[in-house]
């Protein structure tokens, strides 16, 4: 098999309490990750799509954050219950879940309504 059809990175970053930027997980574990992995396997995509843990994806104010490559589709504020839509619509159906996407004006923005002005 060649490269993964899709490679999904789920931020697992957990900062110490009081850190200036928020964290995507409280303790480095992610029910979202577990659910994405389970549903991907159930959909028969286990060998083609990898659900991967990642360190900080640098979109902290929009977390929990997920990025799907090679599409380069970014999702923000993703909860475990959103896993079904991501797997069914995007990973199986090929259509990104628009309601979960981080706005273009927020992605990698030094300032935005969520991040504030730096």
Residue count at the site for a second copy (CB under 8 A)? 26
- Cβ contact 71:97 at 8 Å: no
Binding mask 70-109 for a second copy (x = CB under 8 A): xxx-x-----------------------------x--xxx
Q: Which residues contact 13 (CB under 8 A, 6 or more apart)?
A: 23, 24, 25, 28, 55, 56, 57, 60, 63
Kindly tell me which of 70 and 93 has the beta carbon lying closer to a second copy: 70
Looking at 14, 34, 43, 53, which residue binds a second copy (CB under 8 A)? 53
Contact 24, 63 (CB under 8 A): yes
Site for a second copy in 6-45 (CB under 8 A): 7, 9, 12
Nearest Cα residue to 44 out of 79, 91, 3: 91
Phi, psi dihedrals of residue 2, rounded to the nearest 5°: -80, -155
Which of 14, 34, 50, 85 binds a second copy (CB under 8 A)? It is 50
State which residue, 27 or 104, has the beta carbon closest to a second copy: 104
Distance between CA atoms of residues 60 and 74, nearest Å: 12
From candidates 47, 77, 79, 81, binder to a second copy by CB under 8 A: 47
Q: Is 2 in the site for a second copy (CB under 8 A)?
A: yes
């Amino acid at each position: 098999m060649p490269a993964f059809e899709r490679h999904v990175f789920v931020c697992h970053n957990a900062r110490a309490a009081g850190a200036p930027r928020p964290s995507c997980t409280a303790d480095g574990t992610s029910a979202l990750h577990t659910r994405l992995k389970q549903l991907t396997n159930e959909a028969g995509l286990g060998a083609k799509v990898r659900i991967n843990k990642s360190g900080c994806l640098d979109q902290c104010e929009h977390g929990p954050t997920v990025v799907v490559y090679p599409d380069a589709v970014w999702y923000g504020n993703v909860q475990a219950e959103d896993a079904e839509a991501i797997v069914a619509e995007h990973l199986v159906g090929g259509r990104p879940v628009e309601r979960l996407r981080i706005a273009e004006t927020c992605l990698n923005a030094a300032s935005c309504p969520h991040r504030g002005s730096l």
